[in-house]
Chain A
Amino acid sequence: MNMPAAPNGPKKLSLKENYALLTRGLGWDTSYEDMDKAFPLDKFEGIRIHDWEKWEDPFRLTMDAYWKYQGEKERKLYAIVDAFQQNNGQFNVVDARYINTLKLFLTGVSPLEYAAHRGFAMAGRNFRGTSARIACQMQAIDELRHAQTQAHTISQYNKFFNGLHDPGHMHDRVWYLSVPKSYFEDAMTAGPFEFVTAISFSFEYVLTNLLFMPFMSGAAYNGDMATVTFGFSAQSDESRHMTLGLEVVKFILEQDPANIPIVQRWLDKWFWRGYRLLGLVSMMMDYMLPRRVMSWAEAWEMYFEQNGGALFNDLARYGIRMPKYHDVASMEKHRLSHEVWGIFYNYTHAAAFHTWVPEQAEMEWLASKYPETFDRLYRPRLEYWRAQQEQGKRFYNPTLPMLCQTCQIPMGFTEPDDPTKICYRESDYRDNKFHFCSDGCKDIFDNEPEKYVQSWLPVHQIYQGNCFRPGVDPTAPGFDPLAEVLLYYGYHVGEDGGEYLDSPDRRNWEQWTGKPAVAT
C-alpha cells in the first residue's frame, strides 16, 4: 500500500499527555455503593479536597517501565554485593566499631522501610483520587524493595559480626527500637492524609538528608562499599519520594483554606517526632563513625537551618510557619549527640550494639566541633568513664530508665536553656500522670492523649511482666528479670551488647584482619 504521508502528521504527544492517555480511566466512581463507604477514611481528618484532578502526578512512570528499570538496578546492586562478598569486603572497613552503625541501621531503620511499604499501601487504598493512589502504590513497592536490598546488603556482615542476627524480632521488642517503630506506627494509625504529610513530606523531604547523607557518606568514608552501593540504588527512588512529599503538601494546602491549620499542626508534630528520632543519627555521626564526615551540629545547620529554612520561607506563602520548637532543636544541636551517646553508654549491656569511650584524637575532634560544650560538659564524663574502665569498673547502669510517653526515648534530654538540668514535663490524663522529655513531646500527647496512653513503652512492659519468654516463671528463686528480658529480646547475651573493647567482635576483628581494634 502506498499511503501518502499526511502533510502535517498527527502531532507528537508530550510526555505528560502521553502518560495521561495511558493512565486515563484507571479509576471509577462506585455506583451501587456510596463512595464514602468505599473510601471511609479520607474525610475524618478534616482535610477538604474539592478537585482530585489538581493533583500533579510527579511520577509519570508506568508499571512496565518500572519493572524494567528496577530489574536492571537490582542486577547491578547484587553484582556489586556478590563481588563484595567474594572479596571479603567486610574486612575493608576502617575498624569493627564502624559495624555498630550498621547494626543500628539494620535493626532501627530497615524495618521502617517495610513499615513504609505497609503505610503507603494503606494510604493508597484510602485515597479516592486515582493519581494519589498510584503514587502511593509505586512508593509502597519501592519501600518493600529497599527493605529487601538493605537486608541482603547488610546480611553479609551478620556472618562475621554480632547483633545482626534477627532484626525483625528485635524491632518489635527492644527498648530503643521502639523509638523508630512507634514513630512509624503513629503515622500508620493516623488517617491517610496525616500519614503522607508525616512520611512523604516531614520525613522524606524535610529530614531525610539528615539520615541518609550521614549514613551513606559515613559508609564511603569508612570503607563500606556495599552500603554505598545500596545507597546509590535507593537514592534514584528517593528523589521521586521527595517530589511526592512536596506535591502532597502543595495539593492539600491549595485545596481549601481550612486545611492550613490542620497541616500546620501535623508539621509541628512530625517535625518534633522526626527530630527526636534523629537523635540516634546524631550519635552515629559524632561517636560511632571512626572516620567522621561532619558533625551533627554542622549537618543540622546545613540541612535543616539552611535548606529547611528556605523551604519554610517558601511555605510561608501559604500561611505556614516554621515548625514549633525548631528553635529548641537548634539550641540543642551542640549537646544532642553527647546526651544520646551518654544514654547508650549507660545501657549498652541491654543493646544489640557496642559503645565505647572515644579515643583522645576523637575527643579533640569533638572539642573542635563543639567548642562551647564538649570540654566543659562532656569530656569530663567520658574521661571519668575511661578511668573507671581502666580500673576494671566499666560503668553499666543496672536500673531501668523512665521513658518519654511520646518519643519513648529515656528521659535524658536537658532543659532548653540549661544543659546541666534534665528536662521533665508531665500531663495528667484520666487520673494518670504521663511523663515527657520535652515541651515538644508533651504538646503532641496533649493534642491526642487517647492515642498515646496506649503506647507500648518497653520499660513499663518489663515491669508488667510482659517481656519474658513464654513459660518462664518470674517467681522462681534467683530469677533475674533483666537477664531474662535480654533473652526475650533474642540477644546472644555476652556477645551482642556491652563495651566494644571487651567484645567478641573486637577479638575476632584483631584475629581475622591483623588490624587494630581502634583505627588511629
Chain B
Amino acid sequence: MSYRLTIEPLGQTVEAEEGQTMLDACLRAGVWLPHACGHGLCATCKVQIVDGEIENGSASPFALMDFERDEGRALACCATLQSDVTIEADIDEDPDARHVPVRDFIGVVTAHSDLSPTIKGITLELAEDFDFQAGQYIQVHIPHDEAPRAFSLANPPGTGRRIELNVRRVPDGKGTAWLHDDVKVGDPIRFAGPFGRFFVRTSDPKPLIFIAGGSGLSSPRSMILDLLQRGETRVITLIHGARNRSELYYREELAALATAYSNFHYVPALSEPSEACEWSGFSGHAHEAAAAHFGGDFREHRAYLCGPPPMIEACIRTLMQGRLFERDIFTEKFLTSADAAQGVARSPLFRTL
C-alpha cells in the first residue's frame, strides 16, 4: 500500500510506502527538503500539512509543539502518511521547472551504433510523443534485474516519438552490457520518465558554461541543441573532456554548430592524448580546460556539470575557487553502483552540490 505525497510549492508528487517517512520518500525521489537530525529532535524539517492524514511518529514534544500539531504542522523525518497528502515545505520554487509527470513507456530500438569504443548510441521509437525538459533522464528497465538504470536523454525535446540515449559500457556492469551486447534493432525497451531537476534555468540571463565528461555529454548536448534551436543569444561554452580522440564523440557535429552559431564555443579536452590522436587541442582534464579557457575567473556565469563523480568534484572546486558558488552551479552526477559504494561522506554545508 502506498500513498501519493504532493510537495508544494513545487507541485511535485512522489510515492510514499506504508511506514516510509515523508523525508525519506522525498529524498529518494530527488526532492530535497531541509533536514538535519533525522530523528525528530531538531525541527529543521518542519512542514505544513495542507491536505490529508498523517501520523506524527516519534517527533519530540520539544521540536513539534502541541499548538503546531493542532495547526497541522509535522516533522517530515518522522511523519508517515495515512492517506494521500499534500504538504507545503520551506523550499524554493524553481520558475524554470516544468514538472512533466512521470509515466511508463515502451520504445522499440530503431538504431544501435558505436559512438566511441565505449559508448553506444541507441535510438528508440515510441508509440506516442515523449515530453521532457532538456537535461532530464529516464529509468530503463533491465530484464531480470530489479534496479532500473538511469540514462540522460541526448536528443533535444520536440523530436516527437524518437529519443536517443548515449550508453557508456560500465566495466562489469550488467545493465550496460545488456544494452551494448544483447539489444538489437527491433527489440522493445521499457522505461519510465522523465526524471531529474537538471535543466537550463532559462529565466536567468547569465551566460552558460557546460562541462561534460565521458558519456555525460548527452544532457548538455540536448540542452545546447534545444537552446540554439530556440534562438538563444547568450554565450554558451561547452567543455567536453574525454580520455583520447576516439572517445570524443559528436565532435564533428559540435564543431559545426560552433561554426554556425557565433555565441556557441566548443572546447574539447583530452586527458590522455596519444600520438595516434594527432591532438592539437587542450591536453588535460575538463576542469583544467575550463580554468584555462576562462582564466580561472567564472564570475557572472552559470555552470551545468554532467559526468562521473570525480570529474564533478574537480569542476566544483575549480568553479568555486573561480568565484562561482552553489546558487550558480547545477549538476547531474552519474553514479554507477560501484561509484555509490565508495562515495565520500558529505557534510550539510551544501544542499545540492
Query: Which residues of A are interface residues toward B (Cβ below 8 A)?
Result: 12, 14-16, 60, 68-69, 72-73, 76-77, 232-233, 235-236, 238-240, 242-243, 246, 250, 254, 257, 306-307, 309-311, 313-319
Which residue on B lies nearest to A260, using beta carbons? B321
Check if A243 sits within 8 Å of B36, measured CB to CB.
yes
Query: Is the pair A235, B36 in contact by a Cβ cutoff of 8 Å?
Result: no
Name which residue of chain A comes closest to B90, CB basis.
A15
The CA-CA distance from A236 to B62 in the complex, in Å, is 7
Contact B317 A311 (CB under 8 A): no
Q: Indicate the member of A236, A254, A313, A318 with the most B CB atoms within 10 Å.
A: A236
Q: In the complex, what's the smallest C-beta–C-beta distance from A59 to chain B, in angstroms?
A: 11
Number of CB contacts from chain A to chain B under 8 A: 88
* Complex partner residue of A314 from B63, B65, B350, CB under 8 angstroms: B350
B349 lies within 8 A of chain A by Cβ: yes
Residues of A within 8 A of B37 (CB): 235, 239
A168 to B42, CA, bound (A): 29
A76-B61, A232-B62, A239-B43 known; A16+B90 contact, CB < 8 A: yes
CB nearest neighbor in A for B63: A236
**Contact present for A72 and B67 (CB under 8 Å):** yes
Beyond A12-B9, A239-B43, A239-B44, whether A315 also contacts B90 by CB under 8 A is no
Q: Give bound CA distance, A236 to B36, whole Å.
A: 11
CA distance A238 to B37 in the complex (A): 11
Residues on B with C-beta less than 8 A from A14 are 9, 90-93
How far is it, in angstroms, between the C-alpha of A318 and the C-alpha of B89 when the chains are bound? 29
Q: Which residues does chain A contribute within 8 Å of B41, judged by CB atoms?
A: 232, 235-236, 239
Across the interface, A68 reaches (CB within 8 A) one of B44, B60, B67, B345, namely B67
CB distance from A18 to the nearest CB of B (A): 10
User: What is the predominant secondary structure among interface residues of chain A facing chain B?
Assistant: helix
* 5 residue pairs A–B, Cβ–Cβ below 8 Å: A235-B62, A250-B349, A310-B344, A314-B347, A317-B353
Chain B residues with CB below 8 A from A12, complex form: 8-9
Chain B residues 315-353 with CB under 8 Å of chain A are 316-317, 320-321, 323, 325-326, 344-350, 353
Q: Is B88 an interface residue (CB 8 A)?
A: yes
Nearest to B66 among chain A residues (CB) is A72
Q: Within the complex, what minimum Cβ distance (angstroms) separates B289 from chain A?
A: 19
Task: Specify which of A15, A238, A317 is in contact with B42 (CB 8 Å cutoff).
Answer: A238
Closest to A65 in B: B68
Residue of A nearest to B344 (CB): A313
B window 141-190: CB within 8 A of A: none
Cβ A254 vs Cβ B325 within 8 A: yes
For chain B, residues 63 to 107, give those with C-beta under 8 angstroms from any C-beta of chain A: 63, 65-68, 88-93
Q: Which residues of B have CB within 8 Å of A72? A: 65-67
Q: Given that A239-B42, A239-B44 are contacting pairs, would A309 and B345 also be in contact in the complex, using a CB cutoff of 8 Å?
A: yes
Contacts of A257 on B, CB cut-off 8 Å? 323
Shortest Cβ distance from B9 into chain A, in angstroms?
Answer: 5
Assess the B347–A307 pair: CB atoms within 8 A.
yes
Supposing A246-B348, A310-B346 touch, asked if A317 and B317 sit within 8 A by C-beta, the answer is: yes
* Bound Cα distance from A239 to B34, whole angstroms: 11
A314 touches B90 (CB 8 A): no
A240: chain B residues at CB < 8 Å are 44
Nearest CB on B from A239, distance (A): 3
Residue of B at shortest CB range from A313? B344
List of B residues within 8 angstroms of A15 by Cβ: 88-90
In the complex, which residue of chain A has the Cβ closest to the Cβ of B326?
Answer: A250
Q: Which residues of B contact A319 (CB under 8 A)?
A: 320-321
Please state if B349 and A314 are interface contacts (CB–CB under 8 Å): yes
A77 CA to B60 CA, complexed, in Å: 12
- Tell me, in angstroms, the Cα distance from A315 to B320 when the chains sit together: 10
Chain A residue, CB-CB nearest to B50:
A12
Closest-CB distance, B182 to chain A (whole angstroms):
40
Contacts of B9 in A (CB 8 A): 12, 14
Q: Give the nearest-CB partner of B60 in chain A.
A: A232
User: Which residues of A sit under 8 angstroms from B63, Cβ to Cβ?
Assistant: 235-236
Q: Indicate if the CB atoms of B42 and A310 lie closer than 8 Å.
A: no
Q: Which residue of B lies closest to A242 (CB)?
A: B36
Bound together, the chains give a CA A183 to CA B36 distance in angstroms of 28
Contact B346 A314 (CB under 8 A): yes
In contact, B65 and A318 (Cβ under 8 angstroms): no
A364 to B317, CA, bound (A): 47
Pair A233/B62 contact, Cβ less than 8 Å: yes
Name the B residues within 8 Å of A311 (CB-CB): 347, 349
CB contacts (< 8 Å) of A243 on chain B: these are 36, 44
List, in ascending order, chain A residues with CB within 8 A of B323's CB: 254, 257
Ordered nearest first, which 3 A-B pairs have the shortest CB separation? Answer: A239-B42, A311-B347, A310-B345
How far is B317's CA from A313's CA once the two chains are assembled, in angstroms? Answer: 11
- A235-B41, A243-B44, A314-B346 given. 7 additional CB < 8 A pairs? A15-B90, A235-B62, A236-B42, A306-B345, A313-B344, A317-B320, A318-B320
CB distance from B321 to the nearest CB of A (A): 5
CB pair B349 A73 closer than 8 Å? no
